[in-house]
Every structure is written in structure tokens, then in C-alpha cells.
Amino acid sequence: MNEPFLFKLCSQFICSLIAIFALASPQVRADEPWQANPDTVARLTKQRSEFNYDEAKVPAYTLPDPLVKSDGSKVTDADDWNQTRRAELMELFRSQVYGRRPTTPYTIRFDKTAEIDDAFDGLAVGRSMSAVITVGSRSYAFPFVVFVPKKENQKVPAIVHINNRNFISLKTATTEHDPFWPVKSIVERGYATASFHTSDVDPDDKTRYADGVRSFFADGKPPPDDAWRSLSAWGWAASRVLDHLETLDVVDATQAAVVGHSRGGKTALWAACEDTRFAIAYSNNSGCGGAALSRRALGETVGRITEVFPHWFCKNFADYTGREKHLPVDQHEVMALIAPRSIYVTSADEDLWADPRGEYLSLVSASPVFRLLGIDSIADESMPAVNQPRVVGHTGYHIRSGAHNLGEQDWKWFLNFADTIVKQ
Ligand code: GCU
């Protein structure tokens, strides 16, 4: 063997070792700024002893490398990513995790059902809308509420909020402050905002397929194993609300964020993968099937989520119960699919069910893709301390003290991040 050849061989070997180690499970140092409170670990373990909340018991894992293509070759540049690898990953997530959306042609129209012209002392116009989707002679409609700040000669960025709790009507939104969707604060910060309820699109109930938009598109036929499930259907609805925002003169729909909490956070991430018009995805406490790495199996697992919520993921996802290491993807690649656009991920200190460290690490593990695409992102494997938001380039993260929830403080930090991304 001649020397240059040997040298090349050795350096290739070293490079592959680096690539493997870069994606292997990181060691959690004793002096980490954030560690789960041992009392919380003990309390949750007592409540649900069949699940692991202990960092020390997370299995060693190696994440699939988003920059290695299915033929084993490395993604060479941004074009290669955009033209080849991104499509491969989308296909894997559609076939193995979230299911495929229908390709049935449809038309959509937006009917205004009510309006308040002087919401918040004249700060905004609020409207109740109905999105009416028509296929042939059949129609399906879902309601949403939209607020646009009254600003002259200026386009504003927008936030699409996925509501998985109680529907907040136009009237309620203007008369009662709800930290889950704090419309007044959002509008005061210069954003338009719209919200719809998940169950109005596809009932969040495994027994009610027949009443939702998935059944509507399938004309009542049962869904094939790889067909979309509720998370994807809700994400699709977020895109339809964005269609509406695009029609409003006062909104700059190229600066739109999709926001959701918990199951809504899972939805927001996948919505931004499927629809690249979203400039920002904000996942709040989304956990398993959202921001958290499946391979860590800390808190909620693939087995438990697919058993209790079979209508959320396509059938194949359940096959990885107890065998997460065989998943051809992991959730850091959801982040990678959103790159180079912006992502904000949050956790809550007591919400170990959603695996805060797994949520953070999945954002960090997408950093090689952000780098390839020429965008800065969080790459430090060490989590920030509680209540210390971290923002680097197109990514942001915070772990808030307290329980699983989306509240005023989360919104405040998220909007600070969004302000750095959108140009007002
Ligand atoms: C359950 C579920 C989670 C989900 C959460 C929510 O706890 O196990 O996966 O995120 O509900 O949506 O509130």
C-alpha cells in the first residue's frame, strides 16, 4: 500500500469514528446545570413504576446520522441535503411514524362567522372563521379564531396556535385572559395570531375516526396502516389556517410560527416538517413522538404512547415498542427536517414524562444539519439551568421550573426568541 492511500484510509476511519461518537449517547456530567430533582424522580417512579425516570438507567444508544443517506454515503452539501436526504427522511417519518397525508384534490374556502372590530381597546380585529374543505359534493368544516393587530402600512408576523385543551372562542379570547393562548399579549407584541381546536379537525379519541377529516378524505373507508393519523391531520389543519393568513394583506405569512403544547407540540413539529412555509416551529413540552429522543425511553415510551393513543401515529410506529434502537429515524431528524428554519423547544423541570434532556438533546443532535445549511444552532450538549433560556442562531430552548403546561412565562420567552427571527 502506498503512503497517501494509507493516510486516506486512516483519516476516513478516524472521520467515521468521530461521526459515530458525535451521535452516541452523551455522558451526563455530575456538575450539569440541569439535573432532574431526585425527589421528582422518586415520586414519579412510585406513581408509574413500569417507566424509567432515572438518567442512569437510560440505555446506551447511537442515533441515526441525519447526514448519511440510505445508500451509506455522506451528504456532501446543502443541495444534496435538499434534493436527496430531506426527501428520504420525510419518507421514513411518513411510513414509520406519522403516516402519509392523502393526495385527494380538494378546494378550500374561508367563511367569516363573526367579527369584533375593536378587540383589546381597538388594538386588534378578531374574527371567527370556518375553513370549509370540499371534495366533489362533500364538505368538511372546522372553526378557528384569528386576531390581527391594527397596524397601518405594516405587515406583521403571525402565530398559528394548536389548541388541544378547551376551545377558546372569539368572545372568550377577548374577554377572558387565558395563558394557554394569551391573545392580548401576543397582539401587543406585534403578532397576528390564530387558533383552532384539534378535536374539531380530527377527534382526539381513538373510537371517533368516522367523525374526523381523515375519514372525510377517505370517504369513510378505514385508514391503511401507513395513512396519516391525528397528529398529522392536526398539523395539516395548521397549514390550512396558514392558507387563510396568506390571504390577509396585513399579515406577512412568510414569517409564521406554528405553536403547540404537548400533543399539540408534537403536531407543531411535524406540521413544520410537512409544510416548509412555517418559518418557526415551537414545541412546548412535546415529549415522546415530539421533541424527545425515542431511543432514550425515559418517561413515556413508544410502546405506551402507541397503545394509549393508537390514533396519533401510523401503525408501523407501534412495531418499535421495546425496540427503539431499530427505528430508522429518531426525533432529532424531525428537527433536522425543519432546519434551516427556526425551532424553539421547551421543557418543564417536573415534566419528566416528556424527558427534558431527551427534548434538548434532539435539538442539539440536529446541529450538524444546521451547520451544513450555514445556520448557527445550539450545539452544547450540556443543558442550560432552569429558567435560563438559551438562544443560538435559529434555535432556542428553555427549561422552566414547574409542571407540564404552556403558560405566560413560556410565551414570553418564546416571543423573545421569535423577535430575533422575524423582521418587524
Ligand atoms: C399524555 C401523553 C403525552 C401527551 C400529553 C398531552 O400525557 O402521554 O404524550 O404529550 O398527554 O398532550 O397533554
Instruction: Please count the structural domains in the chain.
Output: 1
Residue 7 domain-assigned?
Answer: no
Residue 384 domain-assigned?
Answer: yes
Rounded to the nearest 5 degrees, what angle is found at the Cα of 185, between the Cα atoms of 167 and 112? Answer: 45
Judge whether 247 and 269 are in contact, CB under 8 Å.
no
Say yes or no: CB of residue 197 within 6 Å of ligand 1: no
Residue 9 domain-assigned?
Answer: no
Active site residue 49: no
Say yes or no: CB of residue 301 within 6 Å of ligand 1: no
Pocket test for ligand 1, best of 300, 317, 347 (most atoms within 8 A of CB): 300
Q: Which amino acid is located at 262 in the chain?
A: S
For each of the chain's 424 residues, which pLDDT tens digit applies?
444 444 444 444 443 443 444 478 887 888 899 999 999 999 999 999 999 999 999 999 999 999 999 999 999 999 999 999 999 999 999 999 999 999 999 999 999 999 999 999 999 999 999 999 999 999 999 999 999 999 878 899 999 999 999 999 999 999 999 999 999 999 999 999 999 999 999 999 999 999 999 999 999 999 999 999 999 999 999 999 999 999 999 999 999 999 999 999 999 999 999 999 999 999 999 999 999 999 999 999 999 999 999 999 999 999 999 999 999 999 999 999 999 999 999 999 999 999 999 999 999 999 999 999 999 999 999 999 999 999 999 999 999 999 999 999 999 999 999 999 997 5
Residue-number span of the structural domain to which 84 is assigned: 78-422
Query: Which cell goes with 167?
Result: 376551545
Nearest to 216 by CA among 97, 101, 93, 96: 101
Say yes or no: CB of residue 288 within 6 Å of ligand 1: yes
What is the whole-number distance in angstroms between the Cα of residue 45 and the centre of ligand 1?
Answer: 17
pLDDT of res. 268? 99
What is the whole-number distance in angstroms between the Cα of residue 334 and the centre of ligand 1?
Answer: 18
**Closest ligand 1 atom to the C-alpha of 263?**
12
Residue 208 domain-assigned?
Answer: yes
Say yes or no: CB of residue 263 within 6 Å of ligand 1: yes
- Read off the pLDDT of residues 131-189 as tens digits, 9 standing for 90 and up: 999 999 999 999 999 999 998 788 999 999 999 999 999 999 999 999 999 999 999 99
Give SS3 for 289: coil
CATH number at residue 219: 3.40.50.1820
Element (H, E) at 345: strand 342-348
Residue 21 domain-assigned?
Answer: no
Query: Which of 195, 230, 232, 262 is the catalytic position?
Result: 262
Residue 61 domain-assigned?
Answer: no
pLDDT of res. 25? 84
Query: Which cell goes with 53?
Result: 425516570
Active site residue 244: no
Nearest to 261 by CA among 339, 347, 363: 347
Burial (Cβ within 10 Å: 0-12, 13-18, ≥19) of residue 100:
middle
**Side-by-side strand order, sheet with 280-284:** 107-118, 124-135, 138-149, 192-197, 156-163, 251-261, 280-284, 342-348, 395-400, 390-392
Residue 252 domain-assigned?
Answer: yes
Strand ranges in 119-190 using DSSP code E only, listed in sequence order: 124-135, 138-149, 156-163
* Nearest-CA residue for atom 10 of ligand 1: 262
Judge whether 370 and 341 are in contact, CB under 8 Å.
no
Say yes or no: CB of residue 305 within 6 Å of ligand 1: yes
Burial (Cβ within 10 Å: 0-12, 13-18, ≥19) of residue 247:
exposed
Phi, psi at 284, each rounded to 5°: -105, 115
What is the whole-number distance in angstroms between the Cα of residue 261 and the centre of ligand 1?
Answer: 9
Residue 2 domain-assigned?
Answer: no
Is the four-CA dihedral 222, 227, 231, 236 of positive or negative sign?
negative
Global pTM?
A: 0.95
Rg over alpha carbons for the chain, rounded to the nearest Å, is: 22
Element (H, E) at 199: helix 198-201
pLDDT of res. 151? 84
CA distance 245 to 241: 6
- Read off the pLDDT of residues 99-113 as tens digits, 9 standing for 90 and up: 999 999 999 999 999
Give SS3 for 106: coil
Say yes or no: CB of residue 262 within 6 Å of ligand 1: yes
pLDDT of res. 20? 43
Judge whether 336 and 269 are in contact, CB under 8 Å.
no
